[in-house]
Structure 1
Amino acid sequence: MVQLVEDVLLLIFIELQNDPASLYSCILVNKTWCRIAVPILWKYFSYAYKNPYNHKRESREKLYNVIAHFLPNSSKNKLAKNDIKLPLNLISNMLLFNYMEFFTRLTSALIEDMARLLIKENSNYKINLLENEIYNLIYNRCKNIRHFNWNTQTQLYLCPNAEEFFYNIRSLEFNFLFITPVMLLKLAVVCQNITDLKIHDCDEDSLDLVLFIKMQNNLRSLSLNFNNKEEQYIQLSNVIGQKAVTLKKITLGPVITLIRPTFFPSLTYLRYLFLNNNDCDLYESVNWQEWEHYINMTTFPYLQYLKTLYLLSGIECLIIERSGEKILEIDVYHPLKTQDYPTENKKLIKMISLRCPKIIKLTLDVDPDNLEEISNLLSNCSLLEKIYFTTKNYIYPNGDKLLKIKSNKSPATLREFSFVDKWNFSLKGLESFLEDWKNKNQFPIKFTHYYKEFPKSFCWVFVKKNVR
């Protein structure tokens, strides 16, 4: 049997990094395959178990049992004195790897779940004791963890070796409701190298949070999830402006209008922008002119990804206009409907057509009166691979018109078309489109219909044309 060189094996296993079943099969081939595949498989575990409750109890118990084998004797003795005997199922042979070194991500939810599954009784004292010993193990043995998700009120920085652990963290995610001002101040002292920061349920314009953000030396990605529909986050707006020179990714929501957009002109190097306004009920009371003013002062020369939810088309249009024609993906979901929405929608489609020559993926609401602009967009955006069109109107029979435009104007790169049920295609129009597509020898197209089920007659057309 011809042996693959290890570098080639590594490349193959990296391609399989999100396929644990295949990786497990590779481990069983021989020692070389096992040695290369095991670290990748355990890296998958550390990522996939961000929410351990998504996995079967049996799988979690097996994982936790292996981790328990690495508890030092001092911890095992301490636990034994409190009638906690671990590991539950002793592995007779010596473990072949130091699996703890393979963890790159950790969530406090995993530690909590591990303690509750391994303690077979309802004792908060024993659960807390075991959690503390697991954290001590992690701080001592898991030297490669760079991503940490903190969802506990436990003061984790008090454990021995916690300082070194948090010093090495690069990606931190936490729920603001669990973090006290004291915790933030303590963390700010030892945890200053965060490049990716995600904060959930932020319910106040906290000075302590502002100071923590300010202490980060190279913050590149910031996600703020607000949990207050009334308070203005002025201090947070200011600190975003102060960190703007390094920021490349910003996610704000679900009420973006709580934060003043004064920082936008400083976002010179931004590559990814997600503005989620899903929970804003008072659209008419929002000072959109302030947003337009500051975005009009901004340029986004490096912007590649734009995603919006419940935003005015005028704001979306302005962001695209101020971009540097490098946008690869646009996702515009549920734009706010104004009195002159068809005109605003037309302007947005035109702007994408003019300013996004490199776009690969597009999600867009399309007013039925603007199909001619869609035709121009498909002609100009010659690198499009995926499109997803929604609409707020029932537009039969214009669904067939859209199919005709797609058939005549779609770039050769297009391979996926998705739509919602309001695009009412006729049987004849659908069959004609599929026949035309087949005759052009283009990429096989993936046809995805969301929400309601396809009519059975449509399914028969797909069978006839061999479409999946």
Structure 2
Amino acid sequence: MTRQLPVLPADCISEILEHLDKDICTLHSCLLVDRLWCKISVKILWRDVWNCKYYCYQRSILSTLVACLPKESKELLHEREIFISTPTPKPPSFSYEKFCKVLPIYKMCIKIENVLNYELPPTFNIKERNFLVINEIIKMYTNQIYSLKKLTYYNYKEYRDFSFTCFPGVRSLSELGCSSNLPSDFFNQMSQICQNLQSISIRFNSVEVSNDLKELISLQNNLKHLTLTAFFDASWKDIIPSLTKHLKTITKLYLYSDKDNLSLSFVSSFSNLQEIMFSFYNEADFKDLQYAHFPRLQILKIPYRCYHYSVYKHIMKFLETNGSNLKKFHTHEHDPMLSLSIPRFCTNLRSLFIILKSGELNTLANIFTSCQYLESIGIWCGCVYLSEEKVLEIVADHAPTNFCELKIYNISNSEFVTPEDLELFFMKWNNRTPKKLFSLIVYKSNYNSHSLLNERSMKVIKKYERLGVTKLAIKMYREDAEEEEIRMEEIS
């Protein structure tokens, strides 16, 4: 007699699959289990579907959405001789558009245009054709989405002939990304229906800011996260008075700019900041901020390099004032004195990203010795920076008890380390007390085609993976890009 396995309740299956939200391949496999698993997996896959990077997925998404279009939209496309193939001639199994929780209009427009330009034959009115398809899809979204979490709307040319006040999903919105030069009626409409935004990201396109945008910010009741981006001649100066109401509620502040004359003095007014990111290409006015005290600050990120020596001095002073509270510090600056200030002022760090050159091994050892709560560190290796072999040696001999994750950005054309070096490191790690699973994440440049690990090295790693000592992940990155987690999502 065949023993039947117990059937899990729907909420248990949903809880399990939620942990796979970034594992697209596994979620696709879950679609084939049964209808319940399929329904739960589809909801997860489609809530942020435009985040996909691969063309084959983008083409499938577009064809599925076209199949979901209402009858009048399909007839309109056929009248204009726009024929887009659908997965099957039958109606779709689900109303996929209703599952959308994240609507990035700019990103969606670009991906739809790419597919249309590649799949459909060229015509004299390509722009009009693309506009029509995109507009019908957006109209369908506005009519069918009843619970939207995030909307990003960055470009004036994206503005379509529909009203956001008639978009039921916007009423549940918690995150908004927009450009300062969007039409005033957009900000007016959002002010009427969205007064509980928790996160606002604004890309400034000019010095002047409309009163409608200022009012939208002032009307919010629970604003926690704020991102301000100003490049070229744009400025966020005019928006600062509108932030007065939110000085105590904002906990996360991101500032991006290529200007060196934008004052940061207003930042010190946010008394409850827990996370700050400064991303400046030139010298920023850190002088006004270096003595500011943020008693709740836990995360500080400075991903882009500043090219003026005085900036380092101001950042060091900032760390002297606030470093003891930091749990995470990421800097893409390289300055020996700045690096030496970390073990002096940031002794409670859990996560660190830092750039050290080949002569700064002692600095890395000092960081491990002083930062006894450190769990993860990311560094560049190769060329003029530290060698992987020396880094592993320092980690084995000096890493504190809680340390368990090493992220290495390999920028050279050489192999990672020799099998003998790996064997020695894992033997030392295996003898640690207490022993923690060691996570080794190696980021390899897309522009380097060499193999990081030869067959013998892989055998060593597989051996210690079976023993439960380590796990390895090799990921790709671009040499001209910063760490993915600290890049702004939609800078075009």
TM-score category (smaller protein)? 0.7 to 0.9
What's the CA shift string for 1:65-100, capped at 9, x where partnerless?
A: 332233333434444444456x74474545432322
SS in 2 for 1:33: helix
Determine the structure 2 residue equivalent to 1:64. 62
**CA offsets, 1:287-311, max 9 Å, x none?**
543232xxx2332314335344325
Of 318-327 and 133-142, more deviation after overlay is shown by: 318-327
Deviations 1:244-282 (A, max 9, x none): 3221211112336443222223222222211111x21xx
Where do 1:120-199 residues align within 5 Å?
Answer: 122=123, 123=125, 124-152=127-155, 153-156=157-160, 158-159=162-163, 162=166, 164-176=168-180, 179-181=182-184, 183-199=186-202
Query: Which string of whole-angstrom CA distances, capped at 9 and with x for unpartnered residues, describes residues 50-77 of structure 1?
Result: 4x6x332x53343223322333334344
Gaps of 5+ in 1: none
Which amino acid is 1:348 matched to?
Answer: I
Partner of 1:333 in structure 2? 332
Contact map agreement 1:365 1:392 (CA 8 A) in 2: no
The SS at the match of 2:42 is: helix
In the alignment, which of 378, 392, 410 is matched to residue 368 of structure 2? 378
Q: Please report the RMSD computed on the Cα atoms of aligned residues, expressed in angstroms.
A: 4.0
- Matched position secondary structure for 1:69: helix
Summarize the alignment of residues 45-444 of structure 1 with structure 2, pairs less than 5 Å apart. Answer: 47-50=48-51, 54-56=53-55, 58-84=56-82, 88-89=85-86, 91-108=88-105, 109-111=107-109, 113-114=111-112, 117=116, 122=123, 123=125, 124-152=127-155, 153-156=157-160, 158-159=162-163, 162=166, 164-176=168-180, 179-181=182-184, 183-200=186-203, 202-208=205-211, 209-228=213-232, 233-255=236-258, 257-277=260-280, 279-280=281-282, 283=283, 287-292=285-290, 296-311=291-306, 312-323=311-322, 325-335=324-334, 337=335, 342-353=336-347, 356=348, 359-366=349-356, 371-372=361-362, 374-390=364-380, 394=384, 404-419=393-408, 432-440=424-432, 442-444=436-438
Q: Distance in 2 between matches of 1:381 and 1:323?
A: 15
Contact 1:105 1:146 in 2 (8 A): yes
Q: How many corresponding residue pairs?
A: 441
Match of 2:9 among 5, 12, 32: 5
Q: 1:5 to 1:325 in 2, by over 3 A?
A: farther
SS of 2:97's equivalent in the other structure is helix
Do the aligned partners of residues 155 and 69 (structure 1) sit closer, same or farther apart at CA in structure 2, a change above 3 Å counting?
Answer: same
Q: Is the 8 A contact 1:313 1:348 kept in 2?
A: no
In structure 2, the CA distance between the partners of 1:160 and 1:206, relative to structure 1 (3 Å rule), is: closer
Cα distance, 1:121 vs. partner?
Answer: 5.3
- Out of 8-17 and 441-450, give the one that drifted further: 441-450
Q: Is the 8 A contact 2:267 2:289 kept in 1?
A: no
CA deviations over 1:347-406 (Å, ceiling 9, x no partner): 2331112xx2xx33211134667655543432343332321234999588x987765543
- With over 3 angstroms needed to count, the CA separation of the structure-2 counterparts of 1:132 and 1:406, relative to structure 1, is closer
Q: Percent identity?
A: 17
What runs of 5+ residues in structure 2 fail to find an aligned partner? 465-471, 473-492
Q: In the superposition, relative to structure 1, how do residues 459 and 449 fare at CA in structure 2: closer, same or farther (>3 Å)?
A: farther
Distance (Å, rounded) in 1 between the aligned partners of 2:109 and 2:234:
34
One-letter code of the match for 1:304? I
Instruction: Give, in angstroms, the shift of residue 104 of structure 1.
Output: 0.8
| CA distance in 1: counterparts of 2:111 and 2:358, whole angstroms | 51
Amino acid at match of 1:378: F
Q: Is the 8 A contact 2:422 2:460 kept in 1?
A: no
Relative to 1, partners in 2 of residues 1:429 and 1:315: Cα closer, same or farther, differing over 3 Å?
Answer: farther
| TM score, norm. by length of structure 2 | 0.74
TM-score (norm 1): 0.77
- 1:35 is matched with 39
Q: 2:272 touches 2:294 (CA, 8 Å); kept in 1?
A: no
SS at 1:135 equivalent = helix
Is this contact kept in 1: 2:27–2:45, CA < 8 A? yes
Amino acid at match of 2:274: R
Q: CA deviation at 1:140?
A: 1.1
Aligned AA (1:275): F
What's the CA shift for 1:205? 4.4
Query: Is structure 2 residue 442 aligned with structure 1 residue 448?
Result: yes
Deviation at 1:458, TM superposition (A): 8.7
